[in-house]
Structure 1
Amino acid sequence: MKFDASYSLKVKIITTAVIILFMGLGIMQISPAIRVDAFLALSLSTLFLVILVVTYGLSVTNYEINSYELVICRPFKNKIIPKENITSAERIYKRDLKWTFRVFGSGGLFGIYGNFFNKKFGTMNWFVTREDKLILIKTNKGKKYVVSPDEPERFLDTLRPAN
């Protein structure tokens, strides 16, 4: 079963702002009014493009649950969590995530994903597109994943029979 992962307003604003910023900086580099070294201009444009491609490639497009696994669908490489490894899945809320720190990842450009730490939950891998529909998934390997399907209750109902 497929579950959509739509962007929150925050993610849409951050993504749009960064793309506009990168485009503006790129245009400024080729403007005859601003003299920029050709190597520097090419290097910065390449860096901007790499950042956009990598962050988009690691972003979540949707989630799929089948008989055997939860698939976190991403343009570059899907993350697969076998259902037999899942020990629990529960809704969590923004108030549960006070003092959560991003160790490595994206904080809004094409989503919120990467490694995060929180005193209450410890280390977590986030695959999130919005912060108002969060689900914490724990595995028997000690891993914790946070996802944000558009329909969290239906997602949990579909995932739970394997528990």
Structure 2
Amino acid sequence: MRSTATLDKFAKIATVFIFLLLLFILYQILNRGEEPVTIYRAIIDSLLFFVAVFCFFYSTKGYSIHSGKLVIERPIGKKVISLNKLKGIYDYQKIEKGFTIRTFGNGGLFGYFGYYSNDKIGRFKLYSTKRKDFYILDFGKEKIGISPDQPEFIEALKGYVSKPDAPQS
């Protein structure tokens, strides 16, 4: 089973804005003429370019399920997560959210990924293309957020939720 992952409106706007900013900076560098380039300006320009490239390579392009594993497709490579310890799947929009903060991650450029923290859910990793419309996969100690476009993908994942052990008689 495979699902695409398309960017939400905010992520599209943020991505276009950052690219226009990078083009403007590049134009300023090339149109500078005889003016010397300061080391600070060069560092800042390089850092902005590096951040944009980094965000592209780690952005989520889609999801698939193969042999009991969730595969998160990214340009830099696939992130493979075993589904054998999946305890539950929760719709982020339907749970009591509380306050969410990005602790180390990206919040708009090519999507939303990295480490986030929520006072109700706890800490979780996000591999999403949507800011609010995603699902939390609960693996016990680890929680992961994903945002597949096709609802059938979540239904397929629900088949991997581990059932509580039957009482012994």
Gaps of 5+ in 1: none
1:96-107 equivalences in 2 (<5 Å): 96-107=96-107
Greater radius of gyration (CA): 2
Under a length normalisation based on structure 2, what TM-score does the superposition of the two structures give? 0.86
- Mark the CA change 1:145 to 1:34 in structure 2 (over 3 Å): closer, same or farther: farther
Aligned residues: 161
> For residue 166 of structure 2, what is the aligned residue in structure 1?
none
* CA displacement, residues 114-142 of structure 1 (integer Å, 9 cap, x when unaligned): 100111000010111013431110114x1
Q: For 1:60, what is the secondary structure of its paired residue?
A: coil
1:1-163 equivalences in 2 (<5 Å): 1-32=1-32, 35-37=35-37, 39=39, 42-93=42-93, 96-140=96-140, 142-151=141-150, 153-163=151-161
Under a length normalisation based on structure 1, what TM-score does the superposition of the two structures give? 0.88
- Equivalent pair of 1:6/1:129 in contact (CA under 8 Å): yes
Tell me by how many angstroms 1:36 deviates: 4.4
- Equivalent pair of 1:115/1:126 in contact (CA under 8 Å): yes
Percent identity among equivalent residues?
25
CA distance in 1, matches of 2:160, 2:67: 8
RMSD: 2.1
- Equivalent pair of 2:59/2:111 in contact (CA under 8 Å): yes
CA distance in 2, matches of 1:34, 1:48: 23
- Equivalent pair of 1:61/1:75 in contact (CA under 8 Å): yes
* CA displacement, residues 36-83 of structure 1 (integer Å, 9 cap, x when unaligned): 416555444432321111111111000001231001111113221111
CA distance in 2, matches of 1:50, 1:162: 38
CA distance in 2, matches of 1:85, 1:146: 15
Gaps of 5+ in 2: 162-169
